[in-house]
């Protein structure tokens, strides 16, 4: 039975788990589903209820947050036949990163099943989700935005209405293309600095004082210096997904994409080195391979 104040959440991966924790600790009741149930179990002591199937999460709530990997996962979880039956009268809020075309297609499918749909992709990661400081970009009607703003404010202090469904997804992809460009450029610059025996502290000192600086550089530097990509915030595989989604959208819009195209093979190479689930800063290992690898 639907209970007011209860939020269904599908997908307790890196981001979904943090979102579930934040919602539960800010007074919501969370009913969560994850394909691999064991991965959701650490949420139980916080009061999150874990269900066996996605439809059970929907059945107990008026709204469902999607924190699934990609469109394929959404198809397998939200759009499986039993779950589809539960969509009538419910609102789906899509928070993962998918393409605008995929989001519009999902909206059509949800509405066909009698549900309502908005997109709210986010910038920020585990720490920001736990602190409620994600940057949420909303694609919705104004009415839907106002209806769900209080819930989104538990996760993002200032959710922003961007435009209709599709527009926030496009903005999110544009921003993630900057993540890819920044980590690729920073990795290459740091590699040159290290191989030229320039002290890294001098590199960072000048960089931080310049207009070129992005806070992400300082954030990722310890991982790069230690070659440590464990306990990821955001995986290499998902950055590849987002670069591919960006490229597909940008090509359709007639943009010349060769700079972004250059990053894709680097990410593919990282995946071939088993860095799939590693933090995306692992791109540094491809850009800056061990010396003996370059001169076998
Ligand atoms: N992490 C971040 O900082 C961050 C920030 C902004 C946006 N995002 C976006 O948010 C989404 C989730 O990211 P994440 O980092 O939490 O990813 P993640 O840790 O890889 O979690 C992915 C989730 O999707 C599920 N899943 C994957 N494939 C599935 C399938 N075929 N069928 C059913 N379930 C499937 C996983 O279930 P299992 O546990 O069973 O594998 C897991 O619950 C992605 O679109 C990502 O790009 C992430």
Per-residue pLDDT of the chain (296 residues; tens, 9 = 90+): 445 589 999 999 999 999 999 999 999 999 999 999 999 999 999 999 999 999 999 999 999 999 999 999 999 999 999 999 999 999 999 999 999 999 999 999 999 999 999 999 999 999 999 999 999 999 999 999 999 999 999 999 999 999 999 999 999 999 999 999 999 999 999 999 999 999 999 999 999 999 999 999 999 999 999 999 999 999 999 999 999 999 999 999 999 999 999 999 999 999 999 999 999 999 999 999 987 755 55
User: 3-state DSSP call for residue 290?
Assistant: coil
Ligand 1 atom closest to Cα of 126?
A: 3
- The rounded distance, in Å, linking the Cα atoms of 93 and 100 is 14
Delineate the domains of the chain, giving CATH numbers in brackets.
6-164 (3.40.50.720), 169-294 (1.10.1040.10)
Helix (H) or strand (E) holding 6: strand 6-10
**pLDDT value for 4:** 52
Give residues with Cβ within 8 angstroms of 143, minimum separation 6: none
Extract the tokens encoding 106.
Answer: 């999902």
C-alpha distances in Å from residue 91, one per residue of 116, 140, 144, 179 = 5, 12, 9, 30
Report the nearest-CA residue for atom 32 of ligand 1.
Answer: 73
The phi, psi pair for 88, rounded to 5°, reads: -60, 125
Indicate the pTM of the whole model.
0.96
Ligand 1 center from residue 154 Cα (angstroms): 20
Contact 167, 227 (CB under 8 A): no
- Comparing C-alpha atoms, which of 107, 52, 113 is closest to residue 84? 113
**pLDDT value for 296:** 52
CB-based pocket (< 6 A), ligand 1:
11-16, 34-36, 39, 67-70, 72-73, 76-77, 96-97, 122, 125, 233-235, 238
Extract the tokens encoding 230.
Answer: 């464990």
Helices 167-195/200-208 angle, 10° precision:
140
**pLDDT value for 5:** 82
Ligand 1 center from residue 23 Cα (angstroms): 18
The phi, psi pair for 70, rounded to 5°, reads: -160, -175
Helices 236-252/167-195 angle, 10° precision:
120
- The rounded distance, in Å, linking the Cα atoms of 221 and 190 is 9
Contact 234, 216 (CB under 8 A): no
H helix intervals, the chain:
14-25, 37-40, 54-59, 71-77, 81-85, 100-112, 126-131, 142-153, 167-195, 200-208, 215-226, 236-252, 258-261, 263-272, 283-287, 291-294
Give residues with Cβ within 8 angstroms of 257, minimum separation 6: 247, 250, 251
Contact 22, 130 (CB under 8 A): yes
Our mutation pick for probing the ligand 1 site, out of 12, 68, 277, counting the most ligand atoms within 8 A of Cβ, is 68
Contact 49, 31 (CB under 8 A): yes
**pLDDT value for 219:** 96
**pLDDT value for 1:** 46
């Amino acid at each position: 039975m639907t209970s007011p104040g209860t939020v269904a959440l599908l997908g307790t991966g890196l981001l979904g788990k943090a979102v579930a924790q934040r919602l539960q600790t800010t007074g919501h009741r969370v009913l969560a589903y994850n394909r691999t149930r064991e991965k959701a179990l650490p949420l139980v002591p916080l009061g999150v209820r874990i269900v066996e199937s996605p439809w059970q999460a929907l059945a107990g709530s008026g709204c469902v947050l999607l924190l699934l990997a990609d469109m394929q996962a959404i198809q397998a979880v939200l759009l499986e036949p039993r779950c589809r039956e539960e969509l009538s009268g419910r609102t789906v809020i899509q928070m993962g990163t998918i393409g605008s075309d995929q989001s519009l297609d999902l909206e059509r499918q949800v509405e066909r099943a009698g549900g309502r749909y908005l997109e709210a992709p986010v910038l920020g990661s585990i720490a920001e989700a736990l602190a409620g400081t994600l940057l949420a970009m909303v694609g919705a009607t104004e009415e839907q935005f106002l209806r769900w703003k209080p819930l989104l404010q538990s996760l993002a202090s200032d959710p922003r209405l961007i435009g209709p469904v599709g527009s926030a997804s496009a903005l999110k992809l544009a921003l993630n293309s900057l993540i890819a460009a920044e980590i690729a450029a920073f990795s290459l610059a740091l590699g040159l600095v290290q191989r030229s025996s320039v002290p890294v502290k001098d590199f960072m000192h000048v960089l931080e004082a310049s207009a070129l600086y992005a806070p992400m550089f300082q954030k990722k530097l310890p991982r790069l210096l230690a070659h440590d990509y464990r306990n990821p915030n955001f995986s290499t595989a998902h950055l590849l997904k987002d670069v591919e989604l960006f490229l597909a959208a940008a090509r359709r819009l007639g943009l010349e994409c060769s700079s972004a195209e250059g990053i894709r093979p680097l990410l593919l190479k990282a995946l071939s080195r088993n860095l799939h689930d590693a933090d995306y800063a692992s791109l540094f290992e491809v850009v800056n391979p061990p010396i003996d690898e370059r001169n076998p």
